Amino acid sequence: MKRLSFLLLFLLVAGFPAAAQSTAQEPENHAVVVERLMRYHDYGEYDREIRDVANAARDYLAYVVKSAPKTDKLAALFDIDETSLSNWAQMADCGFCSYSIQEKLYPDARDPAIIPVLELYNDAKSKGVAVFFVTGRSEGQRNATVKNLSEVGYSGWADLLMRPDTNKLPASVFKSDVRQTITNKGYRIVLNIGDQASDLAGCCAERNFKLPNPFYLVK
């Protein structure tokens, strides 16, 4: 009987070697991902891709302004984080933690401008296009945000539209609703630029420009 039990056990183990072990592949190690993101930024690929997108947006804007009826109220919309301003220093320091964690760790951070986007912003203003900031930052951050934008060279915006503190809608819904409000005021949104798909989803922009951001995701 003992020999028979041993034989059955042997057949079960030998017959199902794959079933005895997990075939799931563990996720890529976080340290490896962080290192790859650091190289992407530090070797210049990130900046080059931002410049390419911003240049394409400027070319498009020049065409639209030239061909638009004089009576049209043209508008260009700008996201803030990783679009108009860079949080790179905080992200790199905390190992690419979320924006909400960055707020807690670096409450007094002053973010530098992303220069190609600042140039696009000023180009839009010089062409008589109304510029709006549409951001997922909360109203509680308004004073700090206005100060930061002004210090790095942004000025003369038509409005800074921030998330009400009680608004819990996904960014893709909140920002689409904001664009609808701008359209309802008679503006023709010819350009919308952001680093997240949620910055661009929904109505009402004629042309969206997506900046690279493999560092975090906002839905």
Query: Residue 10 has what pLDDT?
Result: 47
DSSP percent split of the chain into helix, strand, coil, nearest 5: 50, 15, 35
User: Would residue 53 count as lying in a domain?
Assistant: yes
User: Would residue 216 count as lying in a domain?
Assistant: no
Contact call for residues 191 and 204 (beta carbons, < 8 A): no
Query: Residue 11 has what pLDDT?
Result: 45
The C-alpha atoms of residue 212 and residue 47 are separated, in whole angstroms, by: 9
Does the N-terminal peptide bond of residue 204 adopt cis geometry, omega within 30 degrees of 0?
yes
SS3 110: coil
Residue that is written with structure tokens 């065409």 in the block: 63
User: Would residue 50 count as lying in a domain?
Assistant: yes
In which domain, by residue range, is 85 found? 30-210
Query: Residue 17 has what pLDDT?
Result: 53
Residue 145's contacts (CB-CB under 8 Å, 6 or more residues apart) are: 80, 135, 137, 160, 162
User: Would residue 3 count as lying in a domain?
Assistant: no
User: Would residue 142 count as lying in a domain?
Assistant: yes
Q: How far is CA 140 from CA 101, 135, 161, in A?
A: 16, 12, 12
Q: How far is CA 20 from CA 4, 49, 104, in A?
A: 21, 47, 45
Torsion of Cα atoms, 14 then 16 then 22 then 23, to 10°? 110
Number of compact structural domains in the chain: 1
**Residue 138, φ and ψ in degrees, nearest 5:** -80, 160
Query: Residue 79 has what pLDDT?
Result: 98
Tell me, yes or no, if the pTM score tops 0.75. Answer: yes
The C-alpha atoms of residue 121 and residue 175 are separated, in whole angstroms, by: 19
Q: What is the CATH number of the domain that holds 96?
A: 3.40.50.1000
Residue of 53, 64, 63 whose CA lies nearest to 115 = 53
SS3 115: helix
pLDDT < 70 regions, the chain: 1-22
**Residue 118, φ and ψ in degrees, nearest 5:** -60, -40
End-to-end CA distance of the chain, in Å? 62
Query: Residue 97 has what pLDDT?
Result: 87
Residue of 119, 117, 110 whose CA lies nearest to 89 = 110
User: Would residue 40 count as lying in a domain?
Assistant: yes
